[in-house]
Amino acid sequence: MVIKTAKEINRMIKEVLNKLNEKQVDEFMQRLVHSRNIFVAGAGRSGLVGRAFAMRLMHLGFYVYVVGETIAPPIKPGDLLIAISGSGKTSATLTTVKTAKETKATVVVITSFKNSPIAKLADSIVLIGGREIKGMKRDYISGQLTGMHEPLTPLGSLFELSTMVFLDAVITKLMKLYEEGEMDLKKRHANIE
């Protein structure tokens, strides 16, 4: 049962990633490589995905910060905020996006909803499906009772899993672009933990 479920989740991730918009991805890559400092924001599981991406960017030599960490400097014009929110409504992430816009920083949002409050503030977006089935009730129990819920991946996990795979692919592309190998990344990996 577990292996069958894992294979089905893998199939669903592939389906989500096949729907990525190449123009959105290219614009994201351009903004990424031309930014002075990069800030990554997200709450909950989206935040965990963002932290993993930030770590890999650091391994590539980017100046990258996780929003909310005590060592993060102020965001300024010329900086990039990458905000990850499946729903596009997460209040903490929305506040972060508003602050970044006020400082004239560039904002890229990774979300499932192009008309969400966070996406509407973005300079560009990357749409990654999987947050929820169209018309799904926001109440978990109601969704379970009516059958309107995501199969196999609870509470939006398909979005986070797909986003993680997408962002790992971005790192692979950047490695090729900057001619960095795994040993180069390893040199920048923490040696005290």
Q: What are the CA-CA distances from residue 1 to residues 10, 16, 131 (Å)? A: 14, 23, 24
Picking from 53, 48, 77, 49, the residue whose alpha carbon sits closest to that of residue 64 is 53
Selecting among 160, 179, 180, 193, the annotated active-site residue is 160
Residue 6 half-sphere exposure toward CB, CA atoms < 13 A? 3
**Alpha carbon distance 165, 178 (integer Å):** 20
160 assigned to active site: yes
The number of angstroms, rounded, from the C-alpha of 190 to the middle of its chain's C-alpha atoms is 23
Confirm if 101 and 121 have CB atoms less than 8 A apart: yes
**Alpha carbon distance 153, 57 (integer Å):** 27
Active site (catalytic) residues: 160
